[in-house]
Homo-oligomer: A and B are copies of this chain.
């Protein structure tokens, strides 16, 4: 980071631009809200609802999605435990870069393994990371089955399907837990928004020392 300056009127002279310069420009602070949960739990719907909410309030927000990632950067990976771990490792590295632009990054990944999520937290930095458990039971998700994947998994057409024949390790102490089995999407989005706000991410940085 560049030398701390308390004045917002001084234009940064020479030297490298730091994240805090971008955050001052944007009037917010880069962070990662990591939505984890079963397929069909509502992660993507929730992320996109929150995205709209934040954009309408003038925030630079970006949804980073497991499905989209797998088409490009992680197109070489499958769904074995090893490949899932590598997928989440790469996703964490990219999420950290995206947040480094100053954007509020909403990540939507099943990310079933606790250790993988903890590694992402370390990569992003604990002070910039919110784990959000999008919590709905297998029964609820299977009843919704928006993409027909549970049906296929039960028929044995999708091996190693999280919640059916692959494990999901629920977060023990997430920053936010939303029960989408009982809560509406708007209400769930509000809870995450509230946490982002309380943590200061929706406000500009004041001094380098007080960045979250």
**Which residues of A are interface residues toward B (Cβ below 8 A)?**
1-7, 9-17, 21-22, 25-26, 44, 47-48, 51-52, 55-56, 58, 60-65, 67-68, 70-79, 83, 90, 93-94, 96-98, 100-103, 108, 123, 147, 149, 152, 158
Contacts and interface: CB of A to CB of B under 8 A. Distances in A.
Contacts of A61: 17, 22
A75 B16 contact: no
Contacts of A97: 64, 73, 94, 98
A194 to B, nearest CB: 20
A67 B15 contact: no
A2 B102 CA distance: 24
A113 to B, nearest CB: 18
A29 to B, nearest CB: 14
Contacts of A52: 12, 14-17
A108 B12 CA distance: 12
A73 B94 contact: yes
Give the oligomeric copy count: 2
Contact of A55 (B22, B60, B78): B22
A9 B2 CA distance: 46
Given A78-B6, A78-B7, A21 B103 contact: no
22 contacts: A3-B75, A4-B75, A5-B75, A6-B76, A6-B78, A7-B70, A7-B71, A7-B78, A9-B149, A13-B44, A13-B48, A13-B68, A14-B52, A15-B51, A15-B63, A17-B55, A72-B123, A73-B90, A90-B90, A94-B94, A94-B97, A98-B98
List the 8 closest pairs (A to B, CB-CB), nearest first. A4-B75, A15-B48, A73-B93, A7-B70, A72-B93, A6-B78, A13-B44, A17-B51
Given A62-B22, A63-B15, A63-B17, A72 B96 contact: yes
A129 B25 CA distance: 24
